[in-house]
């Protein structure tokens, strides 16, 4: 007769820990939640209670808005605010990043501030749904807006450091957990929705924020960042992205100009304390 196996304290604790990790991983892979808390599915969009979907836009006065978003007569809007990025060093290595074309190197950035959310229509002065991020702007137009606001486009290294941190996070929130409640992606042809014609509300997914509080660095709209040679690339993936490789902290694309999936946020000098 086989005797039952009795685990020691350390082995038992390790088994329990492994079970918790596997449970969380399975839950995240199977998590059907598409809209963040406080928003409701309307076709391919997530709108506030009391709104309806018309031609891809959430219209009507919201009954309520998610925490952190202001309730306006035209929709929910993320207020303008900045987060401080302390700066430091980040070492990139292909084996860690699971990416072809990534050259092992160490980047160093000084402290700076960054818009917590993408620049919205309300802030930009556009007449479309106020809480959506601005799209169809060139990098030069984005640069001009940021300069008028006392900032500039982030450098590519600053943008990467804001998304990955000194620990080389695979996603802005951590190493795993790319699910629909954390990032606006796969909205055109799945896996999170089908038929989308544009991004979602900026700043509406707190589960996907970075430790410093920056939102939507992965997905929603790809964001302009300035490279050392003066060119600009769009970073972080967008609502059109379908695979993880397009949404990781290191991802970027050589956008040819203004596009319906490319927006921006601004960087600023670090406030002196």
Per-residue pLDDT of 219-266, as tens digits, reads 999 999 999 999 999 999 999 999 999 999 999 999 889 999 999 999
Q: Which domains, ranges and CATH numbers included, belong to the chain?
A: 81-269 (3.90.1580.10)
Q: What is the pLDDT of residues 80-130, one digit of tens each?
A: 999 999 999 999 876 554 555 577 889 999 999 999 999 999 999 999 999
In this predicted model, what pLDDT tens digit does every residue of 177-217 receive, in sequence order? 999 999 999 999 999 999 999 999 999 999 999 999 999 99
pTM given for the model: 0.86
pLDDT at position 13: 44
Q: How far is CA 92 from CA 89, 95, 221, 233, in A?
A: 10, 9, 24, 19
CB atoms within 10 A of CB 210: 24
């Amino acid at each position: 007769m086989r005797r039952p196996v009795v685990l020691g304290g350390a082995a038992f604790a390790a088994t329990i820990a492994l079970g918790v990790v596997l449970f969380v991983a399975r839950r995240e892979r199977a998590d059907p939640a598409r809209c963040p808390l406080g928003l409701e599915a309307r076709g391919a969009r997530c709108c506030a209670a009391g709104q309806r979907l018309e031609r891809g836009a959430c219209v009507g006065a919201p009954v309520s808005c998610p925490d952190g978003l202001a309730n306006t007569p035209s929709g929910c809007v993320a207020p303008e605010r900045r987060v401080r990025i302390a700066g430091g060093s980040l070492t990139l290595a292909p084996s860690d990043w699971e990416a072809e074309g990534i050259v092992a190197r160490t980047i160093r950035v000084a402290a700076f501030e960054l818009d917590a959310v993408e620049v919205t229509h309300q802030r930009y002065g556009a007449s479309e749904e106020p809480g959506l991020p601005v799209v169809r702007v060139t990098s030069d137009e984005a640069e001009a807006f940021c300069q008028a606001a006392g900032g500039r486009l982030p450098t590519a290294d600053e943008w990467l450091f804001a998304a990955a941190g000194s620990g080389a996070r695979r996603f802005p929130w951590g190493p795993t957990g790319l699910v629909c409640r954390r990032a606006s992606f796969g909205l055109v042809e799945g896996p999170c929705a089908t038929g989308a014609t544009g991004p979602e509300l900026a700043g509406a997914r707190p589960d996907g924020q970075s430790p410093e509080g920056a939102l939507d660095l992965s997905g929603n709209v790809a964001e302009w960042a300035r490279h050392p040679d003066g060119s600009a690339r769009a970073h972080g993936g967008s609502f059109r992205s379908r695979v993880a490789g397009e949404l990781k902290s290191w991802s970027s694309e050589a956008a040819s100009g203004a596009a319906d999936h490319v927006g921006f946020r601004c960087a600023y000098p670090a406030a002196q304390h």
